[in-house]
Amino acid sequence: MDAYTFNRLYPVRTRVLAYPETRAERPKQTAIRTAAVDVQDGLTVVHVDVLVGPIDIRGIDPLPDNYPVEA
């Protein structure tokens, strides 16, 4: 998915589960902090709260509005 499409579907502040390295690790519940950008062929990244640096959009899962918030 390119940045334009991602940003239309998931605006800043959308709640997500973020997998910073691999999907085998425990995800972090957070929110999108910046709009996504295309950085090179096939790689689109976004910044999220609680993580330093960009994350590949393939490593985040948007959450439904009724998903419980972690304490």
- Per-residue pLDDT for 21 more than 90? no
pLDDT in tens, 22-66: 888 889 999 999 999 999 888 999 999 988 999 999 999 999 887
Task: Indicate whether 69 belongs to any domain.
Answer: no
For the chain, the distance separating the N- and C-terminal CA atoms, rounded to the nearest angstrom, is: 31
Task: Indicate whether 44 belongs to any domain.
Answer: yes
- Per-residue pLDDT for 69 more than 80? no
Which residues constitute the domain of residue 19? 3-62
Tally of domains within the chain: 1
Task: Indicate whether 14 belongs to any domain.
Answer: yes
DSSP for residue 39: E
Task: Indicate whether 19 belongs to any domain.
Answer: yes
Task: Indicate whether 9 belongs to any domain.
Answer: yes
Task: Indicate whether 38 belongs to any domain.
Answer: yes
Task: Indicate whether 70 belongs to any domain.
Answer: no
